[in-house]
Amino acid sequence: MGEIATSSLGSLSSVDMNTPAELRDYLDVGTPVKSRDSPPRPAPPPTKPRSKLPRPIRFLSLPKAATGSDKKAASEPKGQIKKSQDQARLQPLSNPEQALTKTFKLLHSASDDWEKKIEGLTSLRVMAQNHMDILMPKLHDICLAIINEVKNLRSAVSCAAMATLGDMYVHLQRAMDSEVEGTARVLLHKASEANTFIRQGANCALGHMVQSCTPTRVMNALLVGGLSHRNAAVRSCTAQYLERLAEVMGMARLLSGKKDLTDRFLIAVSKLAVDPAQEVRHHGRNILRNVATKMWDKFAQGKSENP
């Protein structure tokens, strides 16, 4: 015992049982032993050798078009609806008279049965493109049914109804003049909603209305439906499409003075130019600026002809 305690580490030729455990391991193995409590380190995973072949080129896919933003619309099979609509547009209906009768039944179905309503609206879009003569005798009733679906609380149905109105403007054109006032009023109201897709659908339909229908009827519908509306967003939308209508008609026609057109137009634009809402004033002042430019050009041209 005393000899082991006083002798140097190099003089120990054998391991004694009284030698501490760490020292016995040291003498047996020849290297210090790590703490017994520490877990063993895992071996690193084998690395695969890099391939010398060039990497394949990956092409990014285009994003799909969205059709709704609320929870109800998110639960609907949007791709399936869009696919059926696209397929229906490709070919005319075999029996449009029977299809129109069925369409009225679909549109008057229960409010929660959105699939039937979209099917009916899709059928109307097909008939507007291929069977306009079938729609004309019942055009007013058809527009009333579509207006009712534009007000639908389910965004997918509302967007489909506004798209149907847009197609009817494009394909029926001036035959829709008698329905412009009623349809424009509901579209202007929808253009003020917070839902982005609802606003886009309303703006698209209003754009088709301005481009396709009789300009004087469109101007009257815009002034009646939105000039004095309490909602600033509706007035702003009215001013925006009145500005676009001025571009379509041309300042020369608006300032011609025919059928009190000029007076109504200038009074409405002057009211929009001093509206409390900044966005409304912006469009109203843009129109007044174009009017002033046209009148100045006309005055300058007259002065040059009569020096």
Instruction: Give the pLDDT confidence of 235-272 residue by residue, as tens digits.
Output: 999 999 999 999 998 888 887 767 678 888 889 999 99
Which residues, 6+ apart, have CB-to-CB distance to 247 below 8 Å?
none
pLDDT at 291: 84
**Are 89 and 129 within 8 A, CB to CB?**
yes
**How many CB atoms are closer than 10 A to CB 200?**
14
**How many CB atoms are closer than 10 A to CB 144?**
14
Find, among 111, 185, 183, 106, the residue nearest to 147 by Cα.
183
For 170-201, the pLDDT digits (tens) are: 999 999 999 999 999 999 999 888 899 999 99
CA-CA distance, 182 to 143, in Å (whole number)?
9
CA-CA distance, 11 to 162, in Å (whole number)?
100
Residues 18, 23, 29, 33, CA torsion sign: positive
> How many residues are there in the chain?
307
Cα–Cα distance list, 76 to 69, 80, 225, 283 (Å): 11, 9, 33, 38
Q: Which residue has the tokens 């004095």?
A: 228
Helices 139-150 and 180-190, interaxial angle, to 10°?
10
71: confidence class by pLDDT, cuts 50, 70, 90: very low
Give the chain's mean pLDDT: 77
**Are 291 and 251 within 8 A, CB to CB?**
yes
Single-letter residue type at 45? P
The pTM assigned to this predicted structure is: 0.68
CA-CA distance, 37 to 304, in Å (whole number)?
104
pLDDT at residue 12 above 50? no
213: confidence class by pLDDT, cuts 50, 70, 90: very high
Q: Which of 62-71, 84-93, 163-172 has the lowest mean pLDDT?
A: 62-71
**Are 136 and 124 within 8 A, CB to CB?**
no
Query: Percentage of residues in the chain with pLDDT exceeding 90?
Result: 50
- The mean pLDDT value for 69-91 works out to 45
CA-CA distance, 298 to 257, in Å (whole number)?
15
The conformational region for residue 173 under phi > 0 = left, psi -120 to 50 = alpha, else beta, is left
Dig out the tokens for 113 from the structure: 């049965």
Long-range contacts of 114-118 (CB under 8 A, 24+ apart): 114/76, 114/152, 114/154, 114/156, 114/157, 115/81, 117/149, 117/152, 117/157, 117/160, 118/81, 118/85, 118/156, 118/157, 118/160
